[in-house]
């Protein structure tokens, strides 16, 4: 019994060490990724650091202190932005990714991780909000360790729920290149028509693979 428990303890600590090494390595790798993306003509989807700057920039323009992310994954965007916001909510469907991220941010009172399908429970987060925020919609199935909900992308359901907000929020949707290409991703035009029914916005445009819906 003792041997089993000490083995379990050891594998738990080695999992933690590996996860920490991954987080540390990824943190530095991001700068190289951004540099390469800038040098080689922005042919691919922008790296995380670029997306972080986009979100940060809108937070400054609209004076928003709250970020709501869908699709936590390992929590790299939360990590990149947690010093820039007073509160960050992040929703993840996959139990394993959710518990890893919970452990990663367990000592940070600014981060609120939610486990579940953002297509269904984003409205719970929306009802908690007391001021305008930035929505970073990045929940979707993307192979590997990620999880698939009822559909590959819960985007339409997410927008429906965001429409219940009493505030003028900034809505940013990642991976614009998937829209109109993969099943369960509407075309950008359909998304715009749909959004105009649900969300009040003054600008809707796509730039650098991010769909931007601005109040
Ligand atoms: C592209 S990753 C997110 C990357 C993350 N935002 C980042 O910047 O590091 C997409 C994540 O969404 C999660 N996901 C897929 N469908 C979901 C859903 N319906 N609700 C919540 N999360 C979902 C996947 O498990 C995956 O972790």
Asked whether the beta carbons of 91 and 67 are under 8 A apart, the reply is: no
pLDDT attached to residue 34: 77
Q: What is the pLDDT of residues 197-206, one digit of tens each?
A: 877 788 999 9
Q: Is 151 in the pocket of ligand 1 (CB under 6 A)?
A: no
Task: Specify the ligand 1 atom closest to the Cα of 73.
Answer: 27
Give, using CA atoms, the residue closest to atom 8 of ligand 1. 77
Is the CB of residue 154 below 6 angstroms from any atom belonging to ligand 1? yes
**124-144 pLDDT per residue, tens:** 999 999 999 999 999 999 999
- Let me know: does 184 contact 151? Beta carbons within 8 Å: yes
**Residue ranges per structural domain of the chain:** 41-214
Name the 3-class secondary structure at 81. Answer: helix
Fold of 41-214: Rossmann fold (3.40.50)
Higher per-residue confidence, 210 vs 31: 210
Own/partner long-range contacts of 176-183 (Cβ < 8 Å, ≥24 apart): 176/206, 176/209, 176/210, 176/211, 177/45, 177/209, 178/140, 178/153, 179/211, 182/152, 182/153, 183/152
C-beta 92 within 6 A of ligand 1: yes
What is the reported pTM? 0.88
Which residue's CA lies nearest to atom 7 of ligand 1? Answer: 77
């Amino acid at each position: 019994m003792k041997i089993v428990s000490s083995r379990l303890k050891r594998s738990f600590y080695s999992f933690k060490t590996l996860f920490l090494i991954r987080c540390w390595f990824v943190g530095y790798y991001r700068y190289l990724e951004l540099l390469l993306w800038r040098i080689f003509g922005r042919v691919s989807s922008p790296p995380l650091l670029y997306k972080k700057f986009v979100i940060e920039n809108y937070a400054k323009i609209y004076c928003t202190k709250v970020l709501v992310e869908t699709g936590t994954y390992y929590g790299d965007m939360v990590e990149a932005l947690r010093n820039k916001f007073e509160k960050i909510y992040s929703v993840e469907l996959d139990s394993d990714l959710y518990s890893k991220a919970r452990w990663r941010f367990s000592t940070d009172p600014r981060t609120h991780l939610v486990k579940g399908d953002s297509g269904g429970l984003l409205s719970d987060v929306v009802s908690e909000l007391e001021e305008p925020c930035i929505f970073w919609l990045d929940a979707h199935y993307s192979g590997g360790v990620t999880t698939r909900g009822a559909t590959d992308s819960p985007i339409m359901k997410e927008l429906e729920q965001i429409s219940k907000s009493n505030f003028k929020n900034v809505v940013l949707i990642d991976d614009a290149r998937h829209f109109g290409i993969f099943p369960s991703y509407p075309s950008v035009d359909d998304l715009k028509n749909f959004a105009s029914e649900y969300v009040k916005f003054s600008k809707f445009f796509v730039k650098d693979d991010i769909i931007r819906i601005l109040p």
